[in-house]
Chains A and B, each alone.
Chain A
C-alpha cells in the first residue's frame, strides 16, 4: 500500500527460543480502523506492543507516517494508547489525567484547560473533571483513558482490549462510541481483541491471527463470509462442520452422509475419493424447503432450545450435528425432537475448509 500510514514490514518477535510473531506484514491507511483478532497467545498484543515501542522486534521494520520508528522509545513515537486495565493515574483527578500528556509536552496551562474541556465534551463527561478515578465506573474510567490518549492529538491510536474488563451492556455502548469518535477525528487506529463480534462490528479491516501468523486480512464481510483457512472459519462466527468425500471434483459434488451435494467453492485440488471438510454458517441454513436453496440434506431433529425471539434447532445429519436458528413465530410451533427434517442451503454458502 503506497499511501499507508502505519506499515509493519516483515516483523518477527522471539522471546528466547520461542517465536511469538512470524513475518508479520500490514499496511494501514490513514484514518483506517484495523482490528487484530485472535485467541490468547496468538501474538496480537505483541504486535501492538511493538508498534507502541514497548517491545523491540527481533527482525523487521515499523514505519509510522513515513518515519522508521522501529528503534524509537515509546515516548518518542507520538502514539496514544488505551489499556485493558484503564491505567488511569490514581493520584490524579480526571482533568489532571487528561492533561498529563499535554503537560509533558509543555503546553501552556490555559491551553491545557481548554483541551481538557474539549476532550471531556467529546467523551460526554463534561462534569467529571474534578473526580478521582476511583469515583468512576469502569465504563467512565475507560472513556477518560480514551480522552487522555487522544488529548495530545497523537498520530496513531492503539487500543489494547479496552472493552474486556467491562460488562456486556457497557461494552456495546462504548464500542459504538469509540468507533464514532474515531470516525469523527479521523485517527488511524489499531484495536486488539479476542471478541469476534467486537472486531466484526467496529473495524474497517480485520487481521485474524493464530500462532504468531496473520491467517487472513480483510473486511469484516470477507472474513466472515469467505474465511480462507479452517482456523478463521472456526474462530469467526459459529460454524457447522460436515465431513464429506469428494465424488466429482469437476462438478464440485461431495458425498455427505449418504447424500450428494454440490459446492461452488474450490475443492483445492482434491481428487475423487478424497476426504474434505465442509462448513455452513447457521444463518445460511433453513429447515425444510426455502426459496433459492438448491441443496438439501435429510436428517432428524436432535434438540430444540427455545430462546424467546429465536429458536435454536439442532439437526442430526449423519454423524454431524448441524445447529441453526429460526425466528419464533407464534403461529408455528417449534419442531419436536426425533421428527425427520431436512436442512436446505445454497451451494454458494458451503465453505470448503483448508
Chain B
C-alpha cells in the first residue's frame, strides 16, 4: 500500500518536473540554433554584445536597487509601527497595499502623467531625473503588496512589542530600535521582499514604456517582437538571473543573524 503511494508520488513529481523543465529545455535548445550549421551560443553573444542590452539592464538594476531601498525605508517602519501602535489599522493598511494588484499599472501610470506632467504643481515629468524618480516610485507601488507581506510576516515571528520595550528601557531611541533590533530580526523577510521587488522591476514593461525610460522590460518586449533567437536567449538569461537571486538569498540567509525563530 505504502509502496504504491510512493510510486504515484514519484510519478506526479516527475510529471511536474517535466512540465517545468521541458519548456526551458526547448527554449534553451532553440536559443542555440541561431547558426544554421549547428548549435552555438551566437544568440547569447549577440545579446551580451548589444549596447542596448547593457544599457537597459544596468538601468533596470539601478532602478531595482533604488526601489528596494525606498521600499524598505517606507515598508519596514510602517509595518513595524502598525504592529506596535496601531494594530487596529492592519486591515486598512493591508487593503491599501493590495490595491496595486487590482489597479492595473496602466491606470497608475496615466494617473502619474496627469498628476505630475510639466503643467502640474509637481512637474516630475519635466526632467529626466524627475521621470526616473517617478519610475522608481511607481515600482515601489507595484512591489508594495509583496514587500509589505514579506516584512509583516517577518514581524509576526518576533515579539515586536516586548523587544521594543526592552530596547527602550535600556535607553535606545527609535533609530537604534529599528536599526539594531527590528531590522536584523526581519532581515530574511526583507531579503525575500527585495528579491521579489528585483524580479518585478526587471520584467516591468508598462510604466517604463509609457514614461519612455530605457528599462530592461521594454527592451525585452521590443526584441521579442523583432527577433527570433535572441528573445529565447534572453528568456534563459532572465531565468538564470532569477535563480542566481534565489541562491544569493539562500546564501545571505545562512549568514544572517541567528535568531530564536531560525535556530539552525
Contacts and interface: CB of A to CB of B under 8 A. Distances in A.
Given A87-B159, A91-B185, A74 B257 contact: no
B111 interface: no
B259 A90 contact: yes
A218 interface: no
Interface stretch (A20-28, A98-106, A222-230): A98-106
B170 A101 contact: yes
Interface stretch (B93-101, B115-123, B160-168): B160-168
B168 A90 contact: no
A52 B260 contact: no
Interface stretch (A78-86, A119-127, A299-307): A78-86
A145 to B, nearest CB: 8
B162 A87 contact: yes
B253 interface: no
Interface in A38-89: 52-54, 73-75, 77-81, 83, 85, 87-89
A284 B165 CA distance: 45
Interface string B143-159: 00000000000000011
Contacts of A89: 163, 166-167, 180-181, 185
B258 interface: yes
A132 B184 CA distance: 14
B244 interface: no
A148 interface: yes
Contact of B165 (A74, A90, A91): A74
B169 A75 contact: yes
Given A90-B261, A134-B263, A85 B159 contact: yes
Nearest to A105: B171
A205 B180 CA distance: 38
B126 interface: no
Contacts of A220: none
A139 interface: no
Which bracket fits the contact residues of B?
20 to 34
A101 B171 contact: yes
Contact of B170 (A53, A85, A134, A148): A148
Contacts of A90: 158, 185, 257-261
A91 B171 contact: no
Interface residues of A, number: 30
A126 B166 CA distance: 23
Contact of A91 (B169, B170, B173, B259): B259
A133 interface: yes
Contact of A133 (B162, B168, B181, B260): B260
A244 interface: no
A162 interface: no
B257 A91 contact: yes
Given A87-B162, A87-B163, A91-B185, A104 B257 contact: no
Nearest to B158: A90
A77 B158 CA distance: 26
B172 A83 contact: no
Contact of B172 (A81, A85, A104): A104
Contact of B169 (A52, A105, A132, A135): A52
A152 interface: yes
Contacts of B260: 90, 132-134
Nearest to B162: A87
A87 B170 CA distance: 12
Contacts of B162: 83, 85, 87
A75 B165 contact: no
A83 B259 contact: no
A105 B166 CA distance: 15
B222 interface: no
Contact of A100 (B167, B257, B258): B167
A104 B176 contact: yes
Nearest to A85: B162
B165 A87 contact: yes
Given A104-B176, A134-B263, A75 B163 contact: no
A81 B166 contact: yes
A79 B169 contact: yes
Nearest to A78: B171
A88 B163 CA distance: 7
A92 B158 CA distance: 14
Interface in B235-264: 257-261, 263
Contact of B168 (A75, A85, A134): A75
Contacts of B259: 90-91, 132, 134
B164 to A, nearest CB: 9
Interface string B161-200: 0110111111111001000110011000000000000000
A148 B172 CA distance: 13
A132 B170 CA distance: 19
Interface in B100-124: none
24 contacts: A53-B168, A73-B168, A74-B165, A75-B172, A77-B169, A78-B171, A80-B170, A83-B162, A83-B166, A89-B180, A89-B181, A90-B257, A90-B260, A91-B184, A100-B172, A100-B180, A105-B171, A132-B258, A132-B259, A133-B260, A134-B258, A149-B169, A149-B170, A152-B170
Interface of A: 52-54, 73-75, 77-81, 83, 85, 87-92, 100-101, 104-105, 132-135, 148-149, 152
Q: Which 10 pairs between the two chains have the least Cβ-Cβ distance?
A: A91-B257, A101-B170, A90-B259, A87-B166, A91-B184, A134-B260, A90-B260, A74-B168, A87-B162, A104-B171
